Amino acid sequence: MRTLAVLGSTGSIGTQTLEVLQRNPGLYDVQLLAAGKNWRLLEQQIRLFRPPWAALADEHAARELRARVRDLEVEILAGEEALTDLLASRSFDMAVAGMVGHVGLLPVVAAIQGGANIALANKEVLVMAGHIVTKLCRQKGVHLLTLDSEHSAIFQCLQGHSCKDVQRLILTASGGPFLGKTKAELANITPAQAVKHPNWQMGAKISVDSATLMNKGLEIIEASWLFGIGPENIDVLIHPQSIVHSMVEFSDGAVLAQLGIPSMEVPIQYALSYPGRWPSPDSFFLNWLDLPGLTFSQPDTEAFPCLDLARAAISRGGNAPAVLSTVNDICVEYFLAGKLSFNGIPEVIAHIMSEIPWQENPDLTQILETMERTIQVTRRHIESME
């Protein structure tokens, strides 16, 4: 049995990963479950999977959990440092990276240092530090697999092919819940409306990113690092039905696409079963005769400026994508708390991008400094707007 660490086990990716494992028992031994502060759900997961380690970032929640699981042989780690120490010192066969935003960076780096193959959902890690993470993976000889549905689609289409024969990658985007709205119509969008994604079941942060199209912007940067293809050769098409999960166009004009139902469990399961495949329940199979017409169109970058902001960040390079991703994390936090408007998100991102000094080829320490500084400056800026 291969050993597995699940980072962000109580979130959307974590809980769906554990569901996939429950359907396919005996293939992975879950050894570490790590979460932020949801000790109640983590206790249930510990009782089900019996890992030797569990971790909570929040120390108070960790104390609560420790008291609850005294009857079990599990060591409860408290705080980020205890988690990264364990990840760097134990060699898990695989780590599912299902945390959200910039907080996932250090745990993922530690897991790679420990020698774990990474199944990455936490795309911000590659956006912020793609040059560091991909290099470290090569040095440590670990596989970087992706749980992102579009990138899983591209990875599947590339099997048996060489990236040098690729003309362009085409990332599909559902367009989110506000597809077709004008900028003026987006002015009074509420958090509840933004997190209601039409096709995908996802956590709050990525649902907002999906509504602003920042998710697709981050995905261009993510794809560029994963597949070594320049962002100028990565296009985005709006495909509201979310059946075609992405496509690869080759130099001879042939296009390969991966299709399927819109469920995160499919790419999660593929990463866990790779290079093989596990059988899926009936509900995962496409009913071809019931399919809606599949349509494709250009994204509206005037109503949704985040896509162009992301393209600008990757063409600037250096620490610019780390700034972009971190400001976006903070903006989404304030938007969800009702303290920043929907259209305020791209406005604040554009402003902060011009405020933080640009740095070429930053190392990990400089990325972390950029992150801290961006968080401070963004908070101050949004609070001064109120």
Nearer to Mg ion, 231 or 344 (CB): 231
Q: CA 324, CA 275: separation in Å to the nearest integer?
A: 34
Q: How far apart are CA 316 and CA 301, in angstroms?
A: 19
Q: How far is the CB of 73 from Mg ion (least distance, A)?
A: 38
Nearer to Mg ion, 150 or 265 (CB): 150
Which of these segments, 149-157, 161-169, 280-288, 308-316, binds Mg ion (CB under 5 A)?
149-157
64 φ/ψ angles, rounded to the nearest 5 degrees = -60, -45
d(CA 18, CA 41) in angstroms, rounded, equals 12
Comparison of 124 and 148: residue with beta carbon closer to Mg ion: 148
Size of the site for Mg ion (CB under 5 A): 3
CB of 266 to Mg ion, least distance (A): 12
Distance CA 386, CA 384 (A): 6
Q: Are 151 and 219 in contact (CB under 8 A)?
A: yes
- Euclidean distance between CA atoms 146 and 123, whole angstroms: 9
Contact segment (CB under 5 A) with Mg ion among 148-156, 169-177, 228-236, 270-278 equals 148-156
Buried residues in 284-308 as b, exposed as e (16+ CB within 10 A): eeeeeeeeeeeeeeebbeebbbbbb
How near is the Cβ of 148 to Mg ion at its closest, in Å? 4
222 or 333: whose CB is closer to Mg ion? 222
Contact between 222 and Mg ion per CB under 5 A: no
Note whether 124 binds Mg ion by CB under 5 A.
no
Q: Does 150 bind Mg ion (CB under 5 A)?
A: yes
The span from the CA of 159 to the CA of 176, in Å, is: 29
Q: 74 vs 236, which CB is nearer to Mg ion?
A: 236
- The answer to whether 148 contacts Mg ion (rule: CB under 5 A) is yes
Q: Which is nearer to Mg ion, 148 or 300 (CB)?
A: 148
Dihedral of CA 100/104/107/111: which sign? Answer: positive
| Interaction mask 223-262, Mg ion, x per CB under 5 A | ----------------------------------------
Helices (H), 141-284: 149-158, 191-194, 204-212, 214-227, 265-273
Under DSSP, the state recorded for 145 is E
CB of 219 to Mg ion, least distance (A): 6
Nearest distance from residue 108's CB to Mg ion, in Å? 17
Cβ proximity to Mg ion: between 45 and 325 the closer is 325
The site for Mg ion (CB under 5 A) is made up of 148-150
